[in-house]
Amino acid sequence: MRVAEAMTRDARIANPDQSIVEAAKMMADCDCGVLPVGENDRLVGMVTDRDIVIRALAKGKGDAKVRDVMSKDVKYCFEEDDVDDVAKNMGDLQVRRLPVLDKSKRLTGIVSLGDIATTEEVDAAGEALSCISEPASKHVSTGQRPH
């Protein structure tokens, strides 16, 4: 099964110059915990509710912009990728969601473990979640698994 068949297509996109308050309101409106960040029709980052809390609010920076707290090293997949391969990659990267790009590298949606779990690829989602859920002592700060 291709990612295009499992992904969520109606992803809201934050702008790096938006305030974190605006981003948080967008998350509340769409009941999500992550937003892709786009600038000039390109994916430039991802911002999570945790980014807002840990990188801004906990440090007293309530007036921060999305660009101040977003992750810039964005991992992604393509619409044409195989769901099993993407789920394995998500486990290896220890992420629960990946932005989905088309061949032109334009954002077309987001695929989550939840999206994958509702397909016939349930085993792939379970294996990825098992890798993601390893004890924190086995994780490294880059989000990559030790070799």
pLDDT tens string 96-112: 899 999 999 999 999 98
Sheet holding 97-101, edge to edge: 77-78, 97-101, 107-112
For residue 91, the model assigns a pLDDT of: 87
- Residue 3's nearest CA partner among 107, 98, 78, 75 is 78
Domain ranges (residues) in the chain: 3-135
For residue 146, the model assigns a pLDDT of: 40
Task: Give the H or E element holding residue 98.
Answer: strand 97-101
* pTM of structure: 0.78
Pick the CATH number of 3-135 from 3.10.580.10, 3.40.50.300, 3.30.70.660, 3.40.640.10: 3.10.580.10
For the chain, what is the mean pLDDT?
85
